[in-house]
Amino acid sequence: MPELPEVEVSRLGITPHIASETVTDVRIYNPNLRWPVPEEVKALIGQRISQVTRRAKYLLLESSVGSAILHLGMSGNLRIVPIDEPLKKHDHIEICFNNGKALRLNDPRRFGACLWQRPGAQHAVFAKLGPEPLTDAFTAKHLFDVSRGKRVAIKQFIMDNHVVVGVGNIYANESLFKAGIHPECEAGKVSLARYQRLTPIIKDTLAAAILQGGTTLKDFAQSDGKPGYFAQELLVYGRKGLPCVTCFTELSEIRLGQRSTVFCRRCQRK
């Protein structure tokens, strides 16, 4: 599943091609995605895209009449192509521009989304989201305060979008390893000092992944079709049974929230 860095890389990739360009057509080839694609999205036709922004793992193509909201789901990707390039299987949405280019949402599993947000309104998908992890609103004190009394495992806690958005499975594994925190540790028992260590690590891990182009996953490619490169630097994720890069103990794997969780029993403490 594309995580926050992959979505941000997609935003950076498509922005130079569509920002300040005028939409000439919106083509909905398959409206049956995670939610039905609303016809209001076609209000973009004739409008200039003022900017492309991101909230959590949603991308917003903003205009004066509203914003198209795109989500990549589990297997989706965005591509910038010439308008006359033949469609590929699973191309569900196409937004055409006056510069001869088109933005296509391709999603084999159809868990992605294309929604519409009116000016001055907030779509329901943005309600109750936590702070962005790469902003000043995401602090150790925030994590500490929200975690008090919580018995949920720390890994599931930092992956909760109500707590902080965009810390997906890969980056939760990596961040907890770097911070030396056992993934099963109860969030409410983590001290402020440990949150003060964990918070900048989460920020640095996500920022590094964005800088290097996102993590290479079998279903992910950047808008130019090239994969990300951060997977080359993963320390624990996907390395079950291999030696810890710090102490050489064999890395263990458990399931938390039905997600693979790899960690070092010696370096990560409850």
List, for residues 165-202, the tens digit of each pLDDT value: 999 999 999 999 999 999 999 999 999 999 999 999 99
Q: How much is the average pLDDT of 58-83? A: 94
Please indicate, yes or no, whether residues 155 and 206 belong to a single structural domain of this protein: yes
Domain with residue 240: its CATH number is 1.10.8.50
Q: Work out how many domains the chain is built from and give that number.
A: 2
φ, ψ dihedrals at 61, nearest 5°: -95, 105
Among the listed residues 69, 65, 59, the one whose alpha carbon sits nearest the alpha carbon of residue 46: 65
Confidence (pLDDT) at 2: 76
Question: What is the C-alpha separation between 241 and 253, in angstroms, rounded?
Answer: 8
Cβ count within 10 A of residue 202: 24
Domain extent, residue 36, equals: 4-126
Q: Are residues 89 and 167 in the same domain?
A: no
One domain for residues 90 and 149: no
180 and 258 inside one domain: yes
Task: Give the position of tokens 């938390």.
Answer: 256
For residue 178, the Cα-to-chain-centroid distance in whole angstroms is 20
User: Can you tell me the distance from the alpha carbon of 107 to that of 78, in angstroms, rounded to the nearest whole number?
Assistant: 9
Residue 68 sits in the same domain as residue 108: yes
How far apart CA 52 and CA 18 sit, in angstroms, is: 8
Q: What's the pTM? A: 0.88
In a domain, 68, yes or no: yes
Could you tell me if 91 and 160 lie in one domain? no
Q: Is 178 annotated as a binding residue?
A: no
- Between CA 210 and CA 9 the distance in angstroms is 6
Give the integer Cα–Cα distance in Å for 183 and 157: 10
109 is in an annotated binding site: yes
Residue positions annotated with a catalytic role: 2-3, 57, 259
Q: Residue 268 domain-assigned?
A: no
151 has binding-site annotation: no
pLDDT tens digits along 224-250: 665 555 566 789 999 999 999 999 999
For residue 150, give the amino acid letter: K
